[in-house]
DNA sequence: AAACCATAACTTGTATACAAGTGAATTTAT
DNA sequence: ATAAATTCACTTGTATACAAGTTATGGTTT
């Protein structure tokens, strides 16, 4: 795929993930083509790619829209991640390399800085979440499971947006950081018996909260019936 | 996506999975377009889709080829499946519904028939493997993890072909069936402690065998260096 | 006024002509 | 004869015109 097309694809992905493009927003081939000075053909390639990864829904001869958040996908992906990560962490536990440990501690330090900083609330949250991803991604990398991290990322549209919409408060961020710390401690000390519950609580804790369903109805995919 | 396109896509997928189209085979847009009486545009859509799921590799301005089997993908996917399935089976263990049990036993009976049948070797192997997939898919379904089964299927090109190339002998099929039986017994009897090893041996046993690397070199992706 | 039908303005789907790389064959120069 | 340069046949990438389905609009009929 040519670079210009990849750039546009990334741009659209970011806009959708950041909710700048809200679920339901119409994505028109001709509009995009004009905006980027391209013909419809390459634009169609891009939209096909976005559709295959769940970013948009294509309704033949009608139009394309930004997909609504699919809570089923969120539930399934968090299940997958909690199962995988608890295993990965156990694999890692006795034999984590020292530079890996440094990398993880470095990320936690940055998360601490982030919490204590005085920037705007949404910016702080975004930055914290980037670091959160970095922490988990590093765990995958250290265990030689980069491949699986990337695989999951390809299906993360719904979970990423779900997470962003949670208006996490300062004490929630502190809790997340502390859980990271505890996970790291378990790895270093080899306390494998604690890991299952830790990871479960960290990733799956407040899934299926009614709060979310009630407050973001217009963003959520209606169950097909 | 229109039906004709979907049909062609499925046809190509089957041909690639069955190794009728060997890794490295050139897939030309114009050739496909002529063969199916279509223009290049819809054919391109199809090829884009196949590329995103790893079936083919697109070399811009050069051509497209059927992808070589990526042993890294095989290793990662079998790891993912062994981790997931042992968890799913544990989830299922105490509370499996009776009709689910019937369905699983029915599949095992068919596998037994298959082994004892006198059909041609490759046909027998193919039929056995379809039943193998049915068994595992049913486990996912019963645990409410259909979504994750489908997700994994989208990345199964390399594992499926790897498995097919293994010239399983009759006693290997018997062993696979017996392992299925043991897994089912564990579920019914609630013997969760046995499950980890059982699933690991069943799915990950002879991964990374040198036999495969030596005998199917021409099908395998060379490590990038 | 309400129901219905035709039409027009949209959308994406497809066909085709042309652009632009790539690599091998051929020609040319040394 | 050999090496370099060029041309040509091939590939996919892009632009554009047209086909075909969908939906809203407005006029007609009842």
Domains in chain B, number: 2
pLDDT digit string (tens) for A63-92? Answer: 999 999 999 999 999 999 999 999 999 999
pLDDT digit string (tens) for B89-122? Answer: 999 987 899 999 999 999 999 999 999 998 878 8
- Tell me, yes or no, whether B99 lies in a domain: yes
Enumerate residues 6+ apart whose C-beta is below 8 A from B171. none
Which among B52, B76, B151 has the least Cβ separation from residue A155?
A: B151
User: Which residues of chain A neighbour B148 with C-beta distances below 8 Å?
Assistant: 76, 79-80
Q: Domain of residue B191: give its range.
A: 71-219
What values do phi and psi take at B67, rounded to 5?
-65, 150
What is the mean predicted confidence (pLDDT) over A41-69? Answer: 97
Residue owning tokens 């028939």:
B113
Contact B1/A60, CB-based, under 8 Å? yes
Q: Are residues B52 and B87 in the same domain?
A: no
Q: Which of residues A32, A49, A66 is at a domain's end?
A: A66
Contact B76/A45, CB-based, under 8 Å? no
- Tell me, yes or no, whether B167 lies in a domain: yes
Q: What percent of chain A has pLDDT over 70?
A: 99
Q: Are residues A83 and A62 in the same domain?
A: no
Q: How far is B124 from chain A (nearest CA, A)?
A: 33
The Cα–Cα gap between B82 and B205 comes to 10
Three-state secondary structure call for residue B150: helix
How long, in residues, is chain B? 225
CA of B219 to C1' of D27 (A): 67
pLDDT at position B212 is: 86
Q: Please name the residue whose C-alpha is nearest to the C1' of nucleotide D23.
A: A62
pLDDT for residue B85 is more than 80: yes
CATH of the domain at B84: 1.20.120.530
Q: Are residues A62 and A77 in the same domain?
A: no
pLDDT digit string (tens) for B47-81? Answer: 999 999 999 999 999 999 999 999 999 999 999 99
Closest to A56 in 3D by CA, of A91, A18, A95, A12: A12
Residue owning tokens 């009709």:
B99
Q: Which of residues B14, B47, B66 is at a domain's end?
A: B66
Q: How far is B70 from chain A (nearest CA, A)?
A: 12
CATH of the domain at A34: 1.10.10.10
How long, in residues, is chain A? 225
List Cα–Cα distances, A15 to A23, A165, B121, B193, in angstroms. Answer: 11, 14, 53, 47
Cα separation of the two ends of chain A: 38
- Tell me, yes or no, whether B225 lies in a domain: no
- Cβ neighbourhood burial of B31 (10 Å; 0-12, 13-18, 19+): exposed
pLDDT digit string (tens) for B144-188? Answer: 999 999 999 999 999 999 999 987 888 889 999 999 999 999 999
Q: Are residues A48 and A122 in the same domain?
A: no
Strand pairing partners for B220?
B69
Q: Which of residues A66, A99, A120 is at a domain's end?
A: A66
E-assigned strand segments in chain A: 26-27, 56-59, 63-66
pLDDT digit string (tens) for A118-132? Answer: 887 888 999 999 999
């Amino acid at each position: 795929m040519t670079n210009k097309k990849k750039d546009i694809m990334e741009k659209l992905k970011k806009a959708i993930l950041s909710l700048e493009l809200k679920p339901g927003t119409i994505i028109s081939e001709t509009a995009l083509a004009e905006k980027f000075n391209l013909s419809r053909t390459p634009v169609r390639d891009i939209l096909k790619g976005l559709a295959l990864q769940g970013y948009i829904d294509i309704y033949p001869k009608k139009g394309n829209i930004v997909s609504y958040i699919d809570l089923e996908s969120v539930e399934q992906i968090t299940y997958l991640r909690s199962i995988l990560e608890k295993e990965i962490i156990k694999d890692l536990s006795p034999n984590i390399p020292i530079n890996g440990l440094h990398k993880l501690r470095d990320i936690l330090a940055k998360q601490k800085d982030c919490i204590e900083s005085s920037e705007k609330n949404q910016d702080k949250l975004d930055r914290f979440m980037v670091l959160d991803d970095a922490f988990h991604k590093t765990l995958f990398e250290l265990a030689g499971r980069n491949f699986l991290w990337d695989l999951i990322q390809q299906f993360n549209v719904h979970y990423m947006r779900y997470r962003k919409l949670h208006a996490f408060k300062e004490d929630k961020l502190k809790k997340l950081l502390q859980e990271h710390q505890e996970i790291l401690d378990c790895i270093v000390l080899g306390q494998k018996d604690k890991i299952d519950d830790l990871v479960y609580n960290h990733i799956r804790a407040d899934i299926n909260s009614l709060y979310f369903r009630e407050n973001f109805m217009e963003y959520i995919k209606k169950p097909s019936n």
